[in-house]
Amino acid sequence: MNVKTLRIILPLVPMILLVAMVAAAFAAHGWDVEATLFAEDPARKMENLIAPDVMAGGDSFKVSDISISDDGRKISLEVEFRSPLNVPVTVKELSADIAADGGSSRLSLQDEVKILPNKSATLEIAGLLNGTPSTMGTTQLPPNLTIKLEIGGIIIEMAEIP
């Protein structure tokens, strides 16, 4: 082999390799362009991160219990939170205002809670009470609910969740 031939062949080999690999990709997927471009529909993969019934509009929050301490100074709400995601979520902060005849009380999450993908967890929010709360006996969320979530290291803070 002389140098001139080598000079032509050397750069040709990588190009042939690339073309052969692209052809192999299509051949391996029955020359189906969509199947060759995407192993799985990216939109469907993203949808899979969100629980299907939440996509349909299911409620994530529900008050499951309200209790007042014996001395009547502290109120606790147990809020059931169903994770709308198929990835682990940590509730770092949760707070809400609860109306009482003497004004309003600010309730805050006692400890941050880790929730497994698509699972529920009970969050306890508590605060000092000023009078009789007007939400006693209901499962409605108190107003001015704010929440701080951590999802995969991303912090999401939401205020006044309806």
Decide: is 116 part of the binding site for other proteins (CB under 8 A): no
Query: Would you say 128 or 155 has its CB closer to other proteins?
Result: 155
Task: Give whole-number Cα distances, 23 to 9, 15, 43, 92, 125, in Å.
Answer: 21, 12, 26, 50, 60
Decide: is 25 part of the binding site for other proteins (CB under 8 A): yes
Among 50, 54, 126, 151, binds other proteins (CB under 8 A): 151
Among 12, 21, 43, 56, binds other proteins (CB under 8 A): 21
CA dist., res. 152 & res. 113, Å (int): 14
Decide: is 12 part of the binding site for other proteins (CB under 8 A): no
Q: What is the contact mask toward other proteins in residues 44 to 83, using x (rule: CB under 8 A)? A: -xx-xx----------------------------------
Residues of span 79-108 touching other proteins by CB under 8 A: 87
- Contacts to other proteins by CB under 8 A: 1, 3, 6-7, 10-11, 13-14, 17-18, 20-22, 24-26, 28-29, 35-39, 42, 45-46, 48-49, 87, 151-160
